Chain A
Amino acid sequence: MLISLLARALTMSTPLLFGSLSEVIAERSGVMVTAIEGIFLIGAWGGFVGTYVSGSYTIGMIVAMISGIIVAAIYGIVAIFMKQHQVVTGTALNILVAGFCTYFQRVLFGVPTSPLKITPLPKLPIPLLSDIPVLGPIFFQQNILTYIVYLVIPISYFVLYKTSLGLTIRSTGENPEAVDVAGINVNKVRFSVVLFAGLMGGLAGAFYSVGYLGMFSANIIGGRGWIAFAICFLGNWHPIGAVIGTLIFGFTEAIAIYMQSIGGGGYFPNELFIALPYILTIVLTVSRKTFNVPAQLGISYSKEG
């Protein structure tokens, strides 16, 4: 039972990891990707439509990534180049994307009598590794997206802290003038990381529709983009912090799903478990004391003069 619970926790952590890691990288450069909820949603929709129409998971994933990048690009143009308020821009895009997905779902498929289904991404047990007792079933009997996340974690840490690219990204969030003086275009750096967040967020969204549920509905994301956004804050803008934060959430969500499946043990209402990840976010936000906020977070950059 515990093993399946932990495996489920890891499954539920996967999309949040895509989201929170890319949010960490983006915010270290000084931009909050407040369109993350919309990016998740369009990824879920694009991934579903791509897979449903083509019958190929690969094409579905590519559509999800592209649609995530498109929304991120609109966000980047308005928030970075036009220097508009990041929270406000994100909110507008989230509403627009919600309308867009519902509208085109209807345009493409009408009102079907039974919900459209696809087979969720199959679990891919890795030979040998999946046979290890305890660890095998938890770590190595997951779907492909979870394995991709295993790679994304060390890569994002390595890039952010051990490469000149990472140094540039971090400096852009702390001291953009210095980056500018070094001849690097601050806004281009920020725009690029936002596009990257779009790609990752698109995959995260596709995880919910293609990887897990095998269907799309307008409320499929239900604030999980915002949870990934919150994890970035709670993980102190550090990839390792984000991983720890995500695992806590993934575990909470796994417990919530389990408790709902057994009817709350008869003592607790289901709604409590539905609300649990959100309550946890509030509790953690309140209890967090030290913050290492990137100095220029949320502030758009313009050259003087």
Chain B
Amino acid sequence: MNAKLRDLIITNFLAVFLGLLASGILLLFIDINPLTVFGAALKIILTDKYTMGDVFLKATPLIFTALAFAFTFKANLFNIGAQGQFYMGAIVAVAVSLQLQGVVSQPVLLIIVCLATFAGGGLIGGLIGFLKARFNANEFLVSMMSTYVMAALMNYLLRTFLKEAKGEYPQTDSITRTAWIPTLLKGTRLHVGFILAVLVAIGIWILLYKTPLGYRIRAVGSNASAAEMSGIQSKKIYIIAFFISGALAGMAGFTEVNGVQHMLIQDFNTGIGASGIGIAILANANPIGIIFASILFGGLSVMGNLMGRMPGVNVPSSLIDLMQGFVMLFVIISYFFRTYLENRREKLKLQKGVK
């Protein structure tokens, strides 16, 4: 194994460990022995099939939102608005499903909904890319603000056009079973969407590293003016990169509505955009790495939920955010140490050469 990869694996493991350690220490404040609850939660995850399935279930939308951040990151653009594009995907998913359920067959419906969420999220993303390309608008700010606008739009629709037939709560009707994404494993909630997410991640890797378009995106990312000189229209790349990024986030709406919740409610999965950014950082924006990092974050979130439900102990569910935040912070710090280790290695190599 080469030294670089070894450093990467060791430092990342250390970062995750330190992240868990830090959140464990905070558990001491509420008189909970972190070792007991962590151990008990881990044991349930590893032995209970249903819970294990949930780890991958939680990882599914995170793969999409992490890919969304990573994709524009490769073009040196920032899409901080995956949450908003996910909301758009969720709105489209529930609206199309409610319209088409019972009208067309299940496979046809799922394909249509999937494509519609792709287009819906892509539309929002593409719009941000267009504003960047046409008006040189700061994409970081625009995408950031778009999330709040989309949240308001979703709340409005839930209160009006999409409101349940009973008219009691600001939420939609449930979609019928014919619009559900089929389950992958019997006895779990895990659905085929996970496979879709993994395939999409592999597809994004191929797109970025094995196609001319991917090359252009990365060229714009490493040096936009040099790319422009060699005939790459960077403005076009902005729009394309943002469209694909938004579309990926939109697909998380498909897997969450049709695969898990089967309806749309207020404050729907508020954290997956931010977690996606954390996962992309953890994986160094590598699409294949994102699959594994998402499973880790999925595991953290299931673990947090388990601890919150354990009889006798009362762990606040916000521990999940704490764990994820600490892990992210330590991963960022580990980048620093990796660079340091690598520089030292280069130096030693040079010194040896002199002798």
Contact = CB atoms under 8 A, between A and B. Distances in A.
Contacts of A196: none
A168 B131 CA distance: 35
Interface in A92-126: 92-100, 102-104, 106-107
Given A107-B30, A278-B148, A281-B141, A99 B333 contact: no
Given A87-B140, A99-B325, 6 more contacts: A74-B329, A84-B335, A92-B332, A281-B141, A281-B145, A282-B146
Interface string A128-145: 000000000000000000
A286 B142 contact: yes
B155 interface: yes
A103 B316 contact: yes
B152 A96 contact: no
A102 B316 contact: yes
B305 to A, nearest CB: 14
A82 B159 CA distance: 47
B136 to A, nearest CB: 8
- 6 closest Cβ contacts across the A-B interface? A96-B325, A99-B321, A102-B318, A275-B152, A92-B328, A99-B322
A167 to B, nearest CB: 27
B283 interface: no
Interface stretch (B89-97, B185-193, B273-281): B273-281
Contact of B131 (A99, A233, A286): A286
Nearest to B151: A275
A87 B149 CA distance: 21
B153 A275 contact: yes
A92 B329 contact: yes
B352 to A, nearest CB: 21
Contact of A275 (B148, B275, B318, B321): B148
Interface string A268-299: 01011011001101100111100000000000
A32 to B, nearest CB: 9
Contacts of A229: 141
A271 B329 CA distance: 34
14 contacts: A78-B332, A84-B335, A87-B78, A92-B331, A95-B278, A96-B321, A96-B328, A98-B325, A100-B325, A106-B318, A269-B159, A278-B152, A282-B131, A287-B135
A87 B142 CA distance: 15
A230 B316 contact: no
Interface string B311-332: 0000010111111111011011
A84 B333 contact: yes
Nearest to B158: A271
Nearest to A89: B332
A3 interface: no
A223 interface: yes
Interface residues of B, number: 47
Contacts of A218: 318
Contact of B336 (A83, A106, A275, A287): A83
A222 interface: yes
Interface string B117-154: 00000000000000100010110111011111100110
A84 B321 contact: no
A155 interface: no
A88 interface: yes
Best-buried of A92, A278, A285 by chain B (most CB within 10 Å): A92
B17 interface: no
Interface of B: 26, 29-30, 78, 80, 131, 135, 137-138, 140-142, 144-149, 152-153, 155-156, 159-160, 271, 274-275, 277-278, 281, 316, 318-326, 328-329, 331-333, 335-336
Q: What's the interface size class on A, roughly?
A: 35 or more
A289 to B, nearest CB: 8
A100 B328 CA distance: 14
Given A88-B281, A106-B316, A281-B141, A96 B329 contact: yes
Nearest to B275: A95
Contacts of A272: 152, 156
Contacts of B137: 282, 285-286, 288
A91 interface: yes
A271 B153 contact: yes
A242 to B, nearest CB: 15
B274 to A, nearest CB: 5
B322 A96 contact: yes
B141 A100 contact: no
A226 interface: yes
A82 B333 contact: yes
Contacts of B325: 92-93, 95-100
A97 B329 CA distance: 11
A103 B318 CA distance: 5
B329 A233 contact: no
Contacts of A286: 131, 135, 137, 142
A241 B138 CA distance: 17
Contacts of B141: 226, 229-230, 233, 281-282, 285
A103 B321 CA distance: 9
Contacts of B153: 271, 275
A279 B277 CA distance: 23
A131 to B, nearest CB: 40
A223 B151 CA distance: 12
A88 B277 contact: yes
B324 A226 contact: no
B322 to A, nearest CB: 4
Given A78-B329, A279-B149, A100 B322 contact: yes
A149 B256 CA distance: 45
Nearest to A275: B152
A85 B144 CA distance: 17
B287 to A, nearest CB: 18
A97 B326 CA distance: 10
Given A84-B332, A233-B141, A96 B156 contact: no
A125 to B, nearest CB: 35
A126 to B, nearest CB: 35
Given A96-B325, A99-B319, A285-B137, A78 B333 contact: yes
